[in-house]
Amino acid sequence: MKCKNCGFECTEGADFCIQCGKPLDSLDFEKTQNVRKHIYDTKALDITQVADNKNNNLFNGQANEYDFNNNLNQNSKYYGDQYKHDTSTKNNAQNNNKTIIIAISILIGLLIIVSASTFIFINIYNNNSASSVKSSETSTTTDEIIMPDVEGIKIEDAKKELRNAGINYEIVYEQSNEVNKGFVIRQSEIKGTRLTDQDTVTIYVAEESQKANISSDVNEYLYCCASDYATLRETNSRNGKELAKIKSREAVKWLSTYDEFYYVEYLGKKGYVLKDFFSTNSSAPLNYSSGDIDDNSTQILYCRANEYATLRKSPSRSSDEIKKIYCRDSVKYISSSGEFYYVEYSGKKGYVLKDFFSTNPSAPLNYGTGNVDEDSTETLYCRASEYATLRKSPSRSSDEIKKIYCRDSVKYISSSGEFYYVKYQDKYGYVLKDYFSSDKNAPLNYGIS
C-alpha cells in the first residue's frame, strides 16, 4: 500500500505511513486521535529513547573516553615503558655502538701506532745500517792515513811526523853524495798515498858517502858460500830491489858492513848482500839456508857458552828446546840463518845462537849479556874508519859511555846479539861487532857506528 501523501510503499494493513505519518485511509476522529496519541507517544518514546540513547551514548562516550583515556594511559604507560625500553635499548645500542666505535678507534689507533713504530723502527734500522755502513766507510776512511812528505828532512823529525800520523815505518840507511848524513833521501810511498794502520813504509836515510869514505887501499874480497846464489840488493833490506845474482863461489869486493849486510861491489855494481852467504874463505862450507842440509859439510863448531847452549826447533829465541849442548861440546855445522846456525848434535838437528859457537875449540867463553869473564885474554881491535861508540846497553840508541878510536884495543868479555860486551880502559859497555875484529889490521869499516 502506497502512502497518498508521500508515495512511500507501506506494509499491507498499516494505518499510517511510517515515512510521513499520514493516515493511509480515512479514519474517524477518535481513532485518529488515538493514532495521533500513539504516534506522539511513540515519538515521545523515540525522543526519550533518543535522549536515553544520547545519554547512554554520552555515558558510553564518557566511558569510552575513560576507556580511551585509560587505554591511552595504559598505552601511554605501555608505550612510555616501551619508549623507555626502546630508548634504553637505543641508548644501550648507542652506548654499545659508542663502545664498539671507541674499541675500533683504539684498535685503529693501536694499528697506526704499531705501523708508525714499525715504520720508525725500520727507518731507524735502515738509518743505523746506513750509519753502520757509513761508519764502517768512515772508519775505513779514518783508518786510511795520508802519507806525508818527509824527504829532505832530518830522520828525527821524519820519525816524529810519522809517529804522529800513526804510520808504521822501517828505516834503511844508504850512502848518498847528494843528501847530508842523517837526512831522508826518499820514501817508499809518495806524498798523499792512502795508507792503513797495517801498512809499513820504508824511509831511506843518508849515511856517509861510500865514494868519499871508502879507502882506496881496501882490497878485501869475500866469496859467496850460498848453495846456489846470493842476491845483491839496492838497500840493506831483505826486501830491497835486486841488482844482480851472485853465484856460489864468486868473489865480491868488500866495502863496508851494516847490521846483517855487507856493502860490496860486484861487476861494477854496488849493493848489499847478507853476511850469512859470504866468507873470506873461498872454500867455506856452503850455506843451504834454513832447514836444508849439506851432508858433505865437515865444518865443526864448538860450544863456548860458559855452561850450555840450547838446540832449538826453529831459528827463534823462544822456540822449543830440543837438547842442551854443554860447554866445549862440538856440533856439525850445516847452514846459517840470521843470528842462528843450523847444526847437528848427537843425531838431532836444530838451531843454535851463533854467539855461543866458534870454529876455535879454545875460544873465550861467552858468559851471556852483562856477565864478566875477568879471565878473558881475547883482545879485539876497533876497525871503524873514525871511531866506534861504547854504549851502556846493547842498543844502537843507548847512551854513549865513551868513544873508541880506530885501531884502539878492547878486552872481549861476552857477546849479545849484534854487540860485544867489552872493557875499554876502565869502562865496561857494548860495541857493535861490525866495528871490531881480532885482526889488528882488518879492513876498516866506513859505516856509521
Of 280 and 158, which is predicted with more confidence?
Answer: 158
Going by the DSSP 8-state scheme, the letter that residue 134 receives in this structure is H
Burial string for 16-39 (b: 16+ CB within 10 Å, else e) reads: bbeeeeebbeeeeeeeeeebeeee
Residue 34 shares a structural domain with residue 76: yes
Q: Do 269 and 162 share a structural domain?
A: no
Is residue 171, in this structure, part of any structural domain at all?
A: yes
392 Cα distance to chain centroid: 43
Residue 151's nearest CA partner among 190, 192, 176, 184 is 184
Whichever domain contains 180, its CATH number is 3.30.10.20
Give CA–CA dist 349/365, Å, rounded.
Answer: 23
Q: Are residues 23 and 72 in the same domain?
A: yes
Max mean pLDDT range (6-15, 183-192, 253-262, 278-287): 183-192
Measure the CA angle with vertex 8, ends 5 and 10; round to 5°.
Answer: 110
Length of the chain: 449
Are residues 117 and 247 both part of a single domain? no
Whether residue 275 contacts residue 338, with contact meaning beta carbons closer than 8 Å, is answered with no
- Structural domain contains residue 84: yes
Query: How far is the C-alpha of 102 from the C-alpha of 137, rounded, in Å?
Result: 50
User: Does any domain span residue 228?
Assistant: yes
Confidence class of residue 409 from pLDDT cuts 50, 70 and 90? very high
Residue type, 448: I
Q: What confidence category does residue 252 fall into, taking pLDDT thresholds of 50, 70 and 90?
A: very high
Distance CA 246, CA 256 (A): 18
DSSP one-letter string for 46-87: HHHHHHHHHHHHHHHHHHHHHHHHHHHHHHHHHHHHHHHHHH
Least confident segment among 201-215, 246-260, 328-342, 410-424: 201-215
Percentage of residues in the chain having pLDDT higher than 70: 69
> Which of 291-295, 322-326, 337-341, 421-425 has the largest mean confidence?
322-326
User: Strand 436-437 relative to strand 387-391: parallel, antiparallel, unpaired?
Assistant: unpaired
Side-chain-side CA neighbours of residue 338 (13 Å):
12
pTM, entire model? 0.30
Q: Take residue 342 and report the three cell numbers written for it.
A: 843450523
Both 9 and 117 in one domain: the answer is yes
90 and 189 co-located in one domain: no
Poorest-pLDDT segment among 2-16, 55-69, 266-280, 347-361: 55-69
**DSSP assignment letter at 14:** -
What's the domain count of the chain?
Answer: 5
Q: 410 or 25: whose pLDDT is higher?
A: 410
Q: Which residue has the higher pLDDT, 421 or 27?
A: 421
Q: Are residues 245 and 165 in the same domain?
A: no
Q: What is the widest separation between alpha-carbon atoms in the chain?
A: 208
Q: Decide: 334 and 343 in contact? Cβ < 8 Å.
A: yes
- Check whether residue 61 and residue 128 sit in a common domain: yes
Statement: residue 13 has pLDDT above 90: no
**pLDDT tens track for 66-124:** 554 555 455 545 555 555 555 555 566 566 667 778 888 888 888 888 887 787 877 77
Mean pLDDT of the chain: 75
Kindly state whether residues 131 and 34 are assigned to the same domain: yes
Average pLDDT estimate for 140-168: 82
pLDDT of residue 99: 76
The verdict on residue 364 lying in a domain is no
Res 187 pLDDT > 70: yes
Q: What is the pLDDT of residues 38-65, one digit of tens each?
A: 555 555 555 555 455 555 554 455 545 5
User: When comparing pLDDT for 87 and 228, which is higher?
Assistant: 228
> Using alpha carbons only, what angle is made at residue 363 by residues 359 and 368, rounded to the nearest 5 degrees?
110
Q: What sections of 144-173 are H helices per DSSP?
A: 155-165
Please determine, for residue 410, whether its predicted confidence score (pLDDT) is greater than 70: yes
The pLDDT tens digits of the residues spanning 357-382 come to: 888 888 777 765 333 344 556 788 99
- Please give the average per-residue pLDDT across 30-37, as a whole number: 52
Query: Strand 300-303 and strand 357-358: pairing?
Result: antiparallel
Other CB atoms within 10 Å distance of the CB of residue 12: 6
Q: Residue 438: CB partners within 8 Å, gap ≥ 6?
A: 378, 379, 380, 381
At 261 the pLDDT is: 84
330 domain residue, yes or no:
yes
Q: What is the pLDDT of residue 384?
A: 84
Q: From 141, 173, 198, give the residue that closes a domain.
A: 141
Dihedral in degrees, nearest 10, Cα atoms 195, 196, 197, 203: -20
Residue 133's pLDDT band (cuts 50, 70, 90): very low
Residues 14 and 113 in one domain: yes
135 and 163 share one domain = no
**Residue 311 pLDDT grade (very low, low, confident, very high; cuts 50, 70, 90):** very high
The three grid cell numbers given for residue 276, joined into one nine-digit string = 850469512
List, in sequence order, the alpha helices (H) in 362-439. Answer: none
Query: How far apart, in Å, are the Cα atoms of 425 and each of 407, 422, 428, 442?
Result: 14, 10, 8, 21
**Cα–Cα–Cα angle for 190, 195, 200, rounded to 5 degrees:** 85
Is pLDDT larger for residue 430 or for residue 449?
430
Q: With respect to residue 371, please indicate whether it lies within any of the assigned structural domains.
A: no
Give the CATH number, domain containing residue 417. 2.30.30.40
Task: Flag whether 14 is in a domain.
Answer: yes
User: Do 47 and 99 share a domain, yes or no?
Assistant: yes
Percent residues over pLDDT 90 in the chain: 14
φ and ψ of 134, to 5 deg: -65, -40
Q: Which domain holds residue 385?
A: 379-437
Report yes or no on 71 lying in a domain.
Answer: yes
Higher-pLDDT residue of 225, 321:
321
